[in-house]
Structure 1
Amino acid sequence: MSDEAAAGFVRVRFDLSYDGKDFSGWAKQRQGQRTVQGEIEDALRTVTRSAETFELTVAGRTDSGVHARGQVAHVDLPEELWAEHREKLLRRLAGRLPHDVRIWRAEEAPAGFNARFSAIWRRYAYRVTDHPGGVDPLLRGHVLWHDWELDVDAMNAAAEALLGEHDFAAYCKKREGATTIRTLQQLSLVRGDDGIITATVRADAFCHNMVRSLIGALLFVGDGHRDSDWPGKVLAARVRDSAVHVVRPHGLTLEEVGYPADELLAARNRAARNKRSLPGSLPEAGCC
């Protein structure tokens, strides 16, 4: 996973979106599992009439059932192949890709760009309704129904203790060799005129199940089952709490990925690969 494309190759940035309902997540898996990465790589190989599969690197590896509106990926293509197909690549991909995934932009990336490691934040939205009648049938694939009335003010008060740089081990599914230290930049909830509550969650990066676990804890506060200081206590314990439920994936959408100015991309790329640790603790292995 290089900071630059190899000699003779061009790094291309893709901006894309997908409905995650029928995908087993972003990343390619064993045969028979339908994934976003697999569909795009197959389509790219077909439209460029290539015998080789060009592997994508993505900003956020979304789980099964999670949607994306503002996903970013990159792929390194041979210079001659890019020159031949660049003008018609989007239209050809649109004709080959299934209707639940779309690529909106395909452009040569600036020097130092890496879709994953150059990102400085990812912004997700989780949508939930507590309407006693349930979810609008037209929105059922993107909004969670919670069958208790929710106090949004209490949830926002609870969220304040979670902001900043912390070890989110209590809210993540631990992966061998990976750190659970993250910087949570925003966690706020707003009830819209339609009654749907949208939680905006932004961080430099997320560990596995982090967003859905945070929302699960806040829902317990919002419906009165826990006090507003409980999510902060769970965080401080730094161990997985069985009371924290991982909410269903269909309410979650990756909305946007943020990158620094072009001249800062390479530096961010290198910094994001460093081991992370909290003050006074031993460094942990892993990048983000």
Structure 2
Amino acid sequence: MDERTRVRLDIAYDGTDFSGWAAQPNRRTVAGVLTEALVRVFGEDRVSGLTVAGRTDAGVHATGQVCHVDFATAAWSELSASLVRRLAGLLPPDVRVRAATEVPGEFDARFSATFRRYEYRVTDAPYGADPLRRHDTLGWPRGLDLDALNAAATGLVGEHDYAAYCKRKEHATTIREITRLDWRRDPDGILVATVQADAFCQAMVRSLVGAMLVVGDGRRPAEWPGGLLNLRERSSEVTVAPAHGLTLVAVGYPTDPAEYARRAEATRRLRLPATA
């Protein structure tokens, strides 16, 4: 194989018409569309190892997605300066590569990440979501209390087993550390939940939002979402919020590139529940 150079791609997409990130047979996915465009620019044998920070589900959006890919070094040297502009001409309008940056070979978009940050947008306006924001904002049919939403969020922050909020996968842990979870109401009246953690399991963010919304509209007490953390299996009482309100807005990495490999090694270690 030719000498390879690792490149970080910063990506944004409207997830409405995608079946999620991961490539799937006979499905339109972000990874599939992006790979097709990269192969058209570089050639099939000069592109390898596409790896993403977070595999978003069908309908979920991103403004701060990150992936890495390995290009043949000679081809990268020739095309690096024009790559973003070339991709703008090849990619469909619902996905954009905002930046392409050469990184050390130790950089891993998935395992070197220190956090993922999502936002979920909800409106409780009686007329629902504004037509121009209908693809990224959930219309909630009941009034929502900001203080109640934040009270519910408080009990979910920290390192816990989030089995009640996850679609469990075999041999995968449901222990995660949420470092930030709060709500704000913007001047336009939109309620925005910000959720940040080292990583998330499948459907976790939307499940957390679903649990908090029924506190916000008065149907559940503020301590109910946190109380579900005592469960060791998915709760049938939690309704998963629709995908279209969710956007991946940022992925964090060590500021010192020398820490990329160390962070990746630490992330790969399976976090097991305490035995006591």
- TM superposition score normalised by structure 1: 0.92
For residue 20 of structure 1, report the CA deviation from its aligned partner.
Answer: 0.3
Alignment equivalent of 1:151, drawn from 142, 145, 148 = 145
What number of residue pairs does the alignment pair up?
A: 275
For residue 234 of structure 1, report the CA deviation from its aligned partner.
Answer: 0.9
Q: How does 1:117-156 map to 2 (within 5 A)?
A: 117-156=111-150
Q: AA paired with 2:211?
A: A
For residue 199 of structure 1, report the CA deviation from its aligned partner.
Answer: 0.1
> Please, which runs of 5 or more residues in structure 2 have no aligned partner?
none
Partner of 1:263: 258
CA contact (8 A) 1:158 1:218 kept: yes
For residue 279 of structure 1, report the CA deviation from its aligned partner.
Answer: 3.1
Segments of 4+ in structure 1 off by > 6 A?
none
Rounded Cα–Cα distance in structure 2 between residues aligned with 1:59 and 1:41:
16
CA contact (8 A) 1:166 1:278 kept: no
Rounded Cα–Cα distance in structure 2 between residues aligned with 1:97 and 1:175:
33
Partner of 1:54: 48
CA contact (8 A) 1:122 1:257 kept: yes
Partner of 1:27: 22
SS in 2 for 1:56: strand
Which sits farther off after the overlay, 94-103 or 50-59? 50-59
For residue 280 of structure 1, report the CA deviation from its aligned partner.
Answer: 3.0
Cα deviation per residue 1:98-132 (whole Å; 9 max; x = unaligned)?
11100011111134210000000000000001111
CA contact (8 A) 1:185 1:203 kept: yes
Alignment equivalent of 1:36, drawn from 18, 30, 55 = 30
Tell me how large the CA RMSD over aligned residues is: 1.4
CA contact (8 A) 1:117 1:273 kept: yes
Alignment equivalent of 1:272, drawn from 252, 267, 273 = 267
For residue 193 of structure 1, report the CA deviation from its aligned partner.
Answer: 1.4
Rounded Cα–Cα distance in structure 2 between residues aligned with 1:9 and 1:51:
11
Q: AA paired with 1:258?
A: G
CA contact (8 A) 2:2 2:73 kept: no
Rounded Cα–Cα distance in structure 2 between residues aligned with 1:15 and 1:143:
23
Partner of 1:18: 13
> Please, which runs of 5 or more residues in structure 1 have no aligned partner?
1-5, 282-288
For residue 192 of structure 1, report the CA deviation from its aligned partner.
Answer: 1.1
Rounded Cα–Cα distance in structure 1 between residues aligned with 2:151 and 2:57:
28
Partner of 1:186: 180
- TM superposition score normalised by structure 2: 0.96
Which sits farther off after the overlay, 7-16 or 115-124? 7-16
Q: AA paired with 1:20?
A: G
